[in-house]
Structure 1
Amino acid sequence: MLNIMNNKKRMFCCALMGVVFQAQAEVLVILPESGPMARAAESIKLGIVKAHEASKANIPLKFVNTDQKNISDVLKKNVTKSTNLIIGPLARQEVESLIQTNPKIPVLALNEVASKNFNVLQYSLSKDQDTSALLNVMKKDGVNRIYVIREKGTEAESLTFVNALFKKFPEEVQVVDAVPNLKSKDGLLLLGSNTWLNQFKKLPTKHIYAQAISVEQQKPLPKGLKFCDVPALYLEKWQDVAQVHRENPTTMPYKRLYAFGADAWFIAEQFVLNPAVKDIKFNGRTGQITIIGNQIYRVPQCYEQKRKGLSAL
């Protein structure tokens, strides 16, 4: 009889702890619901919600619109004793503003800025990370000179990528207007749309590279082309991202944000469930994610277009 009573007490305590956990473990998501960044924010939100639905942790979510609002005021009004973590904001200037508030609870900011704060993790789909991954591919290929051709009128879209290339590539980089005669250790980087890419009549089949913006669903790529991108767009294992896309069909840039939002939730969940965690490493929807201290490092997956389709490198 005593054992039965003790078991009932234990069951009651466990149930009570579950109620307390739910009450104390709310995650606040601060994203714009209107304005110029609303569409991107909505895609991220859909990714967060889908990954949250698939989770078994049952952590409450609270969404707050940040458009045309002061971040400090948003935090003062919405952060309560039950708020264990904040996801967002998205705009760089808002991340800067949040850091200046010196938050007392963990924050997973969805952009990267120069300012740092111990409680603020900064996570993004950085072009710098994409460049680093592609440069590693070039290094393995033995490339020591890169020729760059950019589609006219789209230079702004690849500017960050090109700047990172000039900064990180240790050898020679030349911007040209036409495909040169390539030597054995030369590489060709094509920066532009998929339509523009496929207008080239003759391209080498080795040492040719592109940015992920050149990739579109069900559109061809030149044989031998190599690029680095979010793996959830190419691997069927990430069914949550695929489901969001089926329910809300969109273009590749916004589909990448579905994956971004889902990985953001996974990261946030780890810190809510285990506040003492310091180091995390996992193969995520947006690439290999490593968290050391309060730094997040992302390595996207790289691919090569072969005769029978894409092959992971």
Structure 2
Amino acid sequence: MLSSIFVRIKTGLVCSAMLAVMIIAGCSVPDQQGQQPLQTQDKVSTEIARYQSIIDAANGEPSLDVIRAYIAQEPLLKDNAAHQKNIDDTWQMLTRLSPQNRSGLVINADENILQGWLDLLSTYQDNKQDSDKLQAAVRDWKIRYPQNPAAQSLPTQLQPAAIQSQGTDIRIALFLPLSGQAKVFGEAIRQGFLDAQAGLPTPLLPTENPANLSTATNDNTSDAVVSADALPNAAVPIESTPPAVQSTPVIANVPVNTQQVKIYDTASQSLENLLIQAEQDGVNLIVGPLLKPDVVKLVQMNTPLNMLVLNELDNAQPRPNICYFSLSPEDEAKNAAEHIWQQQKQNPLILVPRGTFGDRIAKAFAQEWQKQGGHTVLQQTLGSSAELKQLINRGTGIRLTGTAISATNNQPVSTTIGDLDIPQINTDAVPTSAGGSVDAVYIVSTLDELTLIKPMIDMAISSRNKPALYASSRSNQAGAGPDFRLEMEGMQFSDIPLIAGANLPLMQQAAGKFANDYSLMRLYAMGIDAWSLANQFSQVQLQSDFHLNGASGMLSVQENCAIFRQLQWMQYHQGQITTIPYRFQDASRRQGSESPGA
């Protein structure tokens, strides 16, 4: 009995001594649940704020540092709602990483939580087309990473109910003009849509087919260089754009299935009748219409069916069942403004066709330029090729002057399909002089016009003060050869990934179908991407961070569920074409901008 009391007293003394040592050392006592030592609330709040400052400073731009900040912040949060928000925000940041970003990630060996998150992202990317496979893969991931906070509470998007709703069978109706004047446009989109359903050809890397494609790499730059004569054996020879492959993101794989796609000709029946017929056929997603008047009518019918319309509306009201996808010329102008701003230019001049189409493009460029942080944009309008030839014959060059663009938000109404544009009300321009020397010129012209415009610019300025020159895809047409590429030395231009060589066999296939008509090839690419978007429609609707390496551009979602296309930039260099690596800008950062009329 005595020995037992002695043991208890001795044990108590030892515990008291240990407690005293801990107090002297500044340690805190674990709570009864065996949790980690408690920090003072002030210290916790300071740590949370420190990590939040890293997150806020990124302004939505994905990076490992931001993801690490979310991971470090998570165990400090006490509220269940705050935990779930942290998990959802971590997941959204991960899904914003482009495929190029993901492939270049390097993490430390002891970053088990981060590794788990990255594996969860891979699990999602590999299985997102099949809801059953995705749910099974997520369950397996939770077994492999039981300590990951997402294993305790999945991101909302990956919870079973959300996955199941994404997996609802899609029954698609294609609303296109397949007769009448717009038949050629509708047919190009239809072919792209159905070819994507059957599966795209596998992209070839330059090293995989050296007989057809010889490449040379400039050691001083990261640009890929492709020989001017390095072409795949297309059904119809392609002379204008030898594809620059290596820096162009590969077009993403498309969902392949055998579902029946209902096709309706919007030129042969009223939209009211077509909508009734589609509902009777059990359709739950309409892709189309294409022409803006048809889009306006269909939207006004207030159908509950989901719609991926192939044009944009001016000042469209948000509708939860409608997304907008178009080959918007305004999107291309915004691409140009971003690209030129990123190249540290300050005083741009935009050369556009005389008329309302040119005014519209100039206004979109100016709005984006000012949003990037720039100030005045000058606009100069140009006449036809015949007028330009008269000027050049008289020895008259193009002076780098113009009028300041009034970048107000009143958007005019128009219809643009491919290169076809219906005129509209003109916009106002305020005469002004340049606030500094023009250091960038963005040219919106045809191929024939560009061959005159560049020498006219060279004629009017000294070689020491030459600005950087940029051109829209409007000038990238079949038929230009080596002489043209040499004449355009140094000029940068943009176009869709399909034409830039992101999938050479697919480019070859499209060239054969449309006899190298790049306008129709762009619509064909639009049809391919419309198929991908239709099969991921619930994700497009719900995720502001959605993006896709498409055939018509790097696709992302902006306000009103309008799909934004970022194009590939290239440059003429010593008779060859170099690609300029993508710098992806998330369209969610464009919130608040007005959707352009297309």
**Which residue identity lines up with residue 350 of structure 2 in the other structure?**
V
1:300 aligns with 2:567: yes
Query: Displacement, 1:206?
Result: 4.9
Q: Which moved more, 1:36-45 or 1:51-60?
A: 51-60
Contact 2:311 2:325 in 1 (8 A): yes
| Aligned match of 2:451 | 198
| Aligned match of 1:261 | 527
TM-score by length of 1: 0.81
In 2, the alpha carbon distance for the partners of 1:249 and 1:61 equals 27
Q: Which has the larger radius of gyration?
A: 2
Residues 264-283 of structure 1 aligned to structure 2 (within 5 Å): 264-271=530-537, 278-279=542-543, 280-283=546-549
Query: Displacement, 1:277?
Result: 7.0
What are structure 1's unaligned runs of at least 5 residues?
1-23
Contact 2:347 2:437 in 1 (8 A): no
Aligned pair partner of 1:34 in 176, 179, 197: 179
String of CA shifts for 1:21-78, please: whole Å, max 9, x gaps. xxx6431101111222211111111111111111532221111111153322210122
**Which residue identity lines up with residue 368 of structure 2 in the other structure?**
K
Contact 1:25 1:82 in 2 (8 A): no
| Aligned match of 2:441 | 188
String of CA shifts for 1:150-173, please: whole Å, max 9, x gaps. 45xx65553431231233333233
**Which residue identity lines up with residue 90 of structure 1 in the other structure?**
L
| Aligned match of 1:18 | none
Query: Displacement, 1:214?
Result: 0.8
TM-score by length of 2: 0.44
- The share of aligned pairs that are identical, in percent, is 21
1:213 aligns with 2:474: yes
In 1, the alpha carbon distance for the partners of 2:449 and 2:274 equals 44
In 1, the alpha carbon distance for the partners of 2:564 and 2:276 equals 30
What are structure 2's unaligned runs of at least 5 residues?
1-168, 200-254, 383-396, 402-435, 581-598
1:311 aligns with 2:578: yes
Query: Displacement, 1:235?
Result: 1.2
Structure having the higher helix fraction is 2
Contact 2:289 2:309 in 1 (8 A): yes
**Which residue identity lines up with residue 316 of structure 2 in the other structure?**
S
- Quickly say closer, same or farther: Cα 1:246–1:276, change in 2 above 3 A: closer
**Which residue identity lines up with residue 38 of structure 1 in the other structure?**
K
Aligned pair partner of 2:316 in 102, 115, 123: 115
| Aligned match of 1:164 | 364
In 2, the alpha carbon distance for the partners of 1:261 and 1:69 equals 22
- Quickly say closer, same or farther: Cα 1:312–1:149, change in 2 above 3 A: same
RMSD over aligned CA atoms reads 2.7
| Aligned match of 1:57 | 257
- Quickly say closer, same or farther: Cα 1:168–1:275, change in 2 above 3 A: closer
In 2, the alpha carbon distance for the partners of 1:101 and 1:302 equals 40
1:234 aligns with 2:500: yes
Contact 1:241 1:259 in 2 (8 A): no
1:285 aligns with 2:551: yes
Is the partner of 1:142 in helix, strand or coil? Answer: coil
- Quickly say closer, same or farther: Cα 1:192–1:185, change in 2 above 3 A: closer
1:133 aligns with 2:278: no
In 1, the alpha carbon distance for the partners of 2:566 and 2:540 equals 25
| Aligned match of 1:11 | none
